[in-house]
Amino acid sequence: MAETTVGQSVGEPEGSDIDATRAARPLSLTPATLVIALATLLALLLRGYQLTRPGVLVGVGDYDDGTDFGSAILLVHGVLPYRDFVTVQPPGITLLMVPAALLSLVKGTAYAIGLGRILTVLASAGGVVVGGLIVRRRGIFALVVTCGLLAIYPGSVQAAHTVLLEPWLVLFCLLGVAAAFRGDQLASASRLTWSGAALGFAGAVKLWAVIPAAVLLVILMANRWHAGRYLVGLAAGFLIPVLPFAVLAPKRFYDSVVVAQVFRPSARTPLPYRLQQLTGLTGLHAGNLVMIIAAVVVIAGIAGTLIAAWLATGQPPTVLESFAVATAGLIIVAFLVPDNFYYHYPAFLAPFIAMAFALPASRLLGDSGEAENGIQGSAQRAWPRALRPPPAWVRYASVSVAALAIVLLPYAVPQAEHTPRPTYAGAIVVLKRVIPPGACVVSDQASLLISADRFVSSVRGCTVVVDGFGTSYALGHRRAQMAGTVPVVAQLWRRAFSAAQYVLLTRDNTQRIAWTPRLIAYLHSNFVNANLPLPRLVLYVRTHRR
């Protein structure tokens, strides 16, 4: 790989009029800033709207937010992840949620998770800002497409409706990319250290960050000094938040974060559903063939744009383009091969697939100059002198069409941005009335207890099970589907039920609790159904202790 020049993007000679223009025009008045601001506002409106619906802000959001945010609540109450309970994700999200979890000490866990959801919305919208900063040197078209898709992409919006990992993962990955590149080229060695630190911390949020981190490392291998600085930052960003927890409980940490991720036996998610989510057509009820065709069109469009830009301009893909295309391709493979796939996964793909299309498309349009200089940019410098770039009206039309599509797509695809989910609002009121504060409650879904302010117990010996799924995966290893036959898992659940005063079960409890005949017999011998008006829920109350 050829040596890159720090601080100089493609087609930007030193001392050009671009620098003078940028210096004379305040950042707040540039077209680039306007595009980023409008896209960020759109992102906030779409994500914030979800939280304004009845019962959503402090209601039950998801199974995963109970585990992700619940670990932070327990941490601020002195209960340590991995050592005292199983959580299958690295500790990054736990640390990020500590400020919100502190609110639980004075206002209860429901208000705390509400604050956590607001912070997650801001993190998701922050990804739009950072994505814009990455591509801002490539013209208005690249900005509109990248920021616009990040703002409206259904997977990104849905992942921000509660405390999930993907918005934070994307934010820190994009911060790492922004530090690694200046324009189309690699930045200085010192910035690469910070790039590694951001990507390392992204890995401490979710291990998927290894994909962009590895792609960037391959690119940097052409310069060992740069690669070394990057690796130092990468190690520091990951180890500083992770090592304290791993040292306190090394085996449990390994079982939770590594084993539970590798051994996840489950029914395979159908391919059409994956393609529907990845293409963003979540609001359309089309047949399997339509989904496959849509996915082929998207992939062919990106590949065709990349090749067309190369042939038309006579210039190979830039380093940033190569990074975006390689990362997007690897993420798609990672989402299609494993058995597991969930609706919030595609949020991780959004920024990379947006850049993979927007960057070569901007070169094809001849809009490869600074976005601060308007739509017309510096088209002439992006094309060989023997060829003529498209006329200015083509660039203006392309930007207009892209902007119009970004604005209209959320309306054209009803409910693509938000899928209604049960908030259990009525059930939460009943649970708060029936279960006294500080009681020991066992449930297969921690988020129910968090929204009811009954997650933290003052009962001595109350065993915490934040993630029933994860506990079976981590401690049951290859026998996760029969985790109840694993002694350590069976004993954990028996201790939990022995100390419990209440047992709250959802319809999915058979998949989350390692039931055994002995445990079922214990439940029916020591608890009675409260027969409360709790749709989709059953509350058991202890009658006596045997």
Rg (CA), the chain: 25
More confident: 534 or 232: 232
**Residue whose entry in the numeric block shows the structure tokens 């028996």:** 494
Query: What pLDDT band is residue 281 in, cutting at 50, 70 and 90?
Result: confident
Average pLDDT over residues 109-131: 97
Predicted local confidence at residue 53, as pLDDT = 87
Check whether 185 has a pLDDT greater than 50: yes
Pairing of strands 441-443, 502-506: parallel
Predicted local confidence at residue 391, as pLDDT = 66
Query: Domain locations in the chain?
Result: 24-412, 425-542
- Model-level pTM? 0.89
What number of other Cβ atoms are within 10 A of residue 406's Cβ?
A: 20
Query: What pLDDT band is residue 353 in, cutting at 50, 70 and 90?
Result: very high
Query: What pLDDT band is residue 292 in, cutting at 50, 70 and 90?
Result: confident
Predicted local confidence at residue 413, as pLDDT = 56
Check whether 23 has a pLDDT greater than 70: no
In whole angstroms, what is the distance from residue 64 CA to residue 205 CA? 14
Query: What pLDDT band is residue 417 in, cutting at 50, 70 and 90?
Result: low
What are the distances in angstroms from CA 66 to CA 109, 160, 172, 336, 522? 11, 15, 22, 27, 26
Q: What is the mean pLDDT of the chain?
A: 86
Query: What pLDDT band is residue 31 in, cutting at 50, 70 and 90?
Result: confident
pLDDT more than 90, % of the chain:
61
Predicted local confidence at residue 473, as pLDDT = 85
Chain centroid offset of residue 1 CA = 32
Check whether 373 has a pLDDT greater than 70: no
Predicted local confidence at residue 5, as pLDDT = 40
Residues 6+ apart with CB under 8 A from 475: 86, 255, 483, 486, 488, 489, 492
In whole angstroms, what is the distance from residue 72 CA to residue 172 CA? 19
For residue range 229-267, list pLDDT tens digits in order. Answer: 999 999 999 999 999 999 999 999 998 998 887 766 667
What are the distances in angstroms from CA 497 to CA 152, 329, 448, 453, 502? 44, 46, 17, 20, 9
CB 339 within 8 A of CB 353: no
Predicted local confidence at residue 478, as pLDDT = 63
Average pLDDT over residues 181-202: 94
Q: What share of the chain is helix, strand, coil (3-state, %, to 5)?
A: 65, 5, 30
Check whether 494 has a pLDDT greater than 80: yes
In whole angstroms, what is the distance from residue 543 CA to residue 546 CA? 10
For residue range 61-116, list pLDDT tens digits in order. Answer: 889 999 999 999 999 999 999 999 999 999 999 999 999 999 999 999 999 999 99
- Tokens in use for 442? 């066992």
CB 252 within 8 A of CB 82: yes
Check whether 145 has a pLDDT greater than 60: yes
Predicted local confidence at residue 518, as pLDDT = 94
In whole angstroms, what is the distance from residue 63 CA to residue 469 CA? 10
Check whether 16 has a pLDDT greater than 60: no
Predicted local confidence at residue 325, as pLDDT = 96
For residue range 196-237, list pLDDT tens digits in order. Answer: 999 999 999 999 999 999 999 999 999 999 999 999 999 999
Query: What pLDDT band is residue 411 in, cutting at 50, 70 and 90?
Result: low
More confident: 489 or 169: 169
What are the distances in angstroms from CA 238 to CA 130, 173, 211? 21, 12, 14
Predicted local confidence at residue 521, as pLDDT = 95
Query: What pLDDT band is residue 419 in, cutting at 50, 70 and 90?
Result: low
Average pLDDT over residues 450-456: 96
Half-sphere exposure of 4 (CA within 13 A, CB side): 25
Chain centroid offset of residue 456 CA = 27
Check whether 272 has a pLDDT greater than 60: yes
State the DSSP code for 494.
H
Pairing of strands 537-542, 502-506: antiparallel
Predicted local confidence at residue 409, as pLDDT = 73
Average pLDDT over residues 129-154: 93
For residue range 422-432, list pLDDT tens digits in order. Answer: 778 889 999 99
Query: What pLDDT band is residue 375 in, cutting at 50, 70 and 90?
Result: very low
